[in-house]
Chain A
Amino acid sequence: MTVHSLHIFDRKGKTLFTKTYSPIAVKQQRYLAESGTAEPGSDPVTEQRKLVFGMLFSLRELVGSLTPDHSGESLQAVRTGSSTVHTFETMGGLRLALYTSNDVPTSQTSERREYMDNIFARDVLRNIYSNIWVECVVRSPMYSPGEIDVKSTTFERELDSYLSSLPWFR
């Protein structure tokens, strides 16, 4: 069980915060940065992040058009062969994306019942938003939506200590 990285986007897709945790994800990012597949002038790692935001955005639209009644949370996670992106979107348009390995449970409703008393990724994201983001960033006097240097707040420190306390952090 591993947490690879965390991205936070605002409503318009601007990256407000990004941090890579696991060594394997750091390695992948370094490889990506060096291989330089993207067009000149743009950073491949940024490109990748944009891709992720774009995918989450379109998937949400898709899910919305497939759901007859709009009740219930729409998109929860995207799973591939080797890793999962857990996502949480607030009504204000803030979007959190947490990359983990596949064995991290998304939420209570996922079929894998053996995790009944585990901590679920969506609850973690919800907690990051309610208890860390709002406390550290929104309440910062420098905050104005979309324009804040998150690095200058205590957000990162609080986030690190919270994430590393999780049973599935490493």
Chain B
Amino acid sequence: MSKSGSITAAGQNLWAKVPKANSELFALTYGSLITELIRDYDQNIPEINNQLDRIGYSIGVRCIDELFAKSEVNGVQIPSCRELRETAEVVAKIGFRMFLGVSCDVGKLTEKSFSLYLSENPLSIFVELPQNEVGVDGSSSHGPDWTQLKYSNVYCGVIRGALEQVNLKVECEFVGDMLQGDDVNEIKVEVKEVIADGAGEDYQEE
């Protein structure tokens, strides 16, 4: 278990080194981003989830370089990951710690997937989702189905983007959300493919 301990320490170390933003400002900014998306996409909830994933993806592909660079500069050793378990630990203990200051736990580990449990979610402080509107007749509801909204879906995109840069194609899904009344925030990460290293088309054509 000493390895897992060193990963936690590395995460803490990096968190101490990065510049910080006010967490309330951060949460409120994210909240206004969501309201903006809801307005722009006309309350089309699945599309909003998609857009959040896309935003996250673009963040993720940058994050990973930031993480490597910061660890080089500060002499923090990130263990090389040979198994999915190690990758999961690094995402949970270093990634989340360095960028968000929280750490999360790894669970439900199989050969092809793992789950990340976030006990605290810095994006969702102050947040309460609206109730679904109920129609006059009591049964059918109109208006958006808020239970479909994955408020923190940006995490999924970030994880997807970051892992893709290190040759892991994954799919992420928010399966438990405390905003929707679940006990814990759970992100399920499923490995689809390990991208083979190799010269691509650009190399051939250039």
Our verdict on whether A and B bind, yes or no, reads: yes
Residue ranges of A at the interface with B (Cβ–Cβ < 8 Å): 10-15, 46, 50, 53-54, 57, 70-71, 90-94, 126, 129-131, 133-134, 138-139, 143-146
Q: A13-B199, A145-B61 are in contact. List 6 more A-B contacts (CB 8 A).
A: A10-B202, A11-B197, A91-B68, A93-B166, A130-B70, A133-B69
Cβ-defined contact, A14 with B203, below 8 A: yes
Interface 1/0s, chain B 52-75, versus A by CB < 8 A?
000000100110111011101100
Question: Is there a chain A Cβ closer than 8 Å to B80's Cβ?
Answer: yes
Cβ-defined contact, B58 with A144, below 8 A: yes
Option from B165, B197, B203 in Cβ contact (under 8 Å) with A53:
B203
Cβ-defined contact, A130 with B69, below 8 A: yes
Cβ-defined contact, B65 with A13, below 8 A: no
Cβ-defined contact, A139 with B62, below 8 A: yes
Cβ-defined contact, A144 with B61, below 8 A: yes
Centre residue among A71, A130, A143, A144 by max chain B CB count within 10 A: A130
Cβ-defined contact, B200 with A14, below 8 A: yes
CA distance A57 to B198 in the complex (A): 8
- 19 CB contacts below 8 A, A to B, read A12-B200, A12-B201, A12-B203, A13-B202, A13-B206, A53-B199, A90-B65, A90-B68, A92-B165, A93-B165, A93-B197, A130-B72, A130-B73, A134-B65, A134-B66, A138-B65, A138-B69, A143-B62, A144-B61
CA distance A71 to B129 in the complex (A): 48
Which A residues touch B64, using CB under 8 A?
A: 91-92
Chain B proximity of A122: nearest CB distance (Å): 11
Centre residue among A53, A91, A126 by max chain B CB count within 10 A: A91
Question: Is there a chain A Cβ closer than 8 Å to B167's Cβ?
Answer: yes
Chain A proximity of B195: nearest CB distance (Å): 9
Question: Is there a chain A Cβ closer than 8 Å to B20's Cβ?
Answer: no
Cβ-defined contact, A145 with B69, below 8 A: no
Which B residues touch A54, using CB under 8 A?
A: 199, 203
Interface 1/0s, chain B 180-206, versus A by CB < 8 A?
000000000000000001111111001
Cβ-defined contact, A134 with B69, below 8 A: yes
CA distance A161 to B165 in the complex (A): 29
B64 and chain A: residue at smallest CB distance: A92
CA distance A151 to B183 in the complex (A): 50
Question: Is there a chain A Cβ closer than 8 Å to B3's Cβ?
Answer: no
Which B residues touch A138, using CB under 8 A?
A: 62, 65-66, 69
3 tightest CB-CB pairs across the interface, nearest first?
A: A12-B200, A13-B203, A130-B69
Chain A proximity of B183: nearest CB distance (Å): 35
Cβ-defined contact, A14 with B65, below 8 A: no
B82 and chain A: residue at smallest CB distance: A70
CA distance A133 to B201 in the complex (A): 24
Interface 1/0s, chain B 61-103, versus A by CB < 8 A?
1101110111011000000101000000000000000000000
A123 and chain B: residue at smallest CB distance: B72
B202 and chain A: residue at smallest CB distance: A14
